[in-house]
Amino acid sequence: MCPCKTLSVFRREFKSYFDSPVAYVFLVAFLVLVGFLTFGFSSYYERGQAVLTPFFIWHPWVYLLLVPAATMGLWAEERRNGTIELLLTMPITLTEALLGKFLAAWTFIGVGLALTFPILITTSYLGNPDWGAVICGYVGSFFLAGAATAIGVFASSLSRSQVIGFVVALAILFTLLIIGFDPVLGAIAGWGVPTYVTDALSSCSLLKHYMSLGRGVLDFADVGYYVGMIVFMLAAAQYVTDCRKAS
């Protein structure tokens, strides 16, 4: 595998976000939503504590809406425009192309996350936050974004329609988020589902692993979960793209 080829695809994809207003709309929507939810809904100031919990807690739900928007075109547009035929008849493997696209989308969302730094500055101005927890929160959020992006890449590979790419990614993400939600797990258990099944469902949840990272515990099991999810979704995207590229 050649990193230069992956890098070429990465550069093209990353730049393509900024070639249209998409990038700016996305970044503004991300920052406005995160800011509004943090300050408006989570009583950030009223807590009297210099913590970023009310900020990080909203990230999964903001990603739920915005990551599918950033990933829906990655393969769907290639297929709709026929450029997939151009790309995959050049001396580049599907894995190299797929990785380039995934990394571009992940980095783009990472830029959005990095632009939340004023909230960090505000918190450190108001008090003395636990920097370990802050770093852990950002790492967790970035990995969550990576897993969501990989799910979006997979959804985009399913058809030549961006709308389908968006809706499928949203549905998968929503399912993987709510199965870690206690009321949902309680409802499932209420149907007579055995505990080991609800435990298994809970351990598959994006939310559960995010919450433990958000508490400031950098557990390799959580990081491993996200890496596993990314690898699994990209492998699925590769399989689907390979089978359906000509359709």
The binding site for another protein (CB under 8 A) comprises 4-5, 7-9, 11-12, 16, 19-20, 81-83, 85-93, 245-246
**Which one, 9 or 179, has the nearer CB to another protein?**
9
Helix (H) or strand (E) holding 244: helix 220-244
The encoded tokens of residue 119 equal: 């909230």
Chain mean position to CA 7: 20
7: Cβ–Cβ under 8 A, 6 or more apart, which residues? 100
Angle between helices 22-36 and 3-18 (to 10 degrees): 80
Least CB distance from residue 12 to another protein, whole Å?
A: 5
Q: What is the Cα–Cα distance from 79 to 87, expressed in whole angstroms?
A: 10
CB closer to another protein, 8 vs 212: 8
Nearer to another protein, 43 or 83 (CB): 83
What minimum distance in Å lies between the beta carbon of 159 and another protein?
18
Residue 157: CB minimum distance to another protein, A: 16
Instruction: Give the shortest CB-73-to-another protein separation in angstroms.
Output: 11
Q: How far is CA 94 from the centre of its chain?
A: 22
What's the CA gap between 168 and 151, in Å, rounded?
A: 9
Least Cβ distance, residue 20 to another protein (angstroms): 6
Nearer of residues 90 and 121 to another protein, judged by Cβ: 90
Task: Give the residue carrying structure tokens 């508490």.
Answer: 215
Q: Considering beta carbons, is residue 85 or 130 the nearer one to another protein?
A: 85
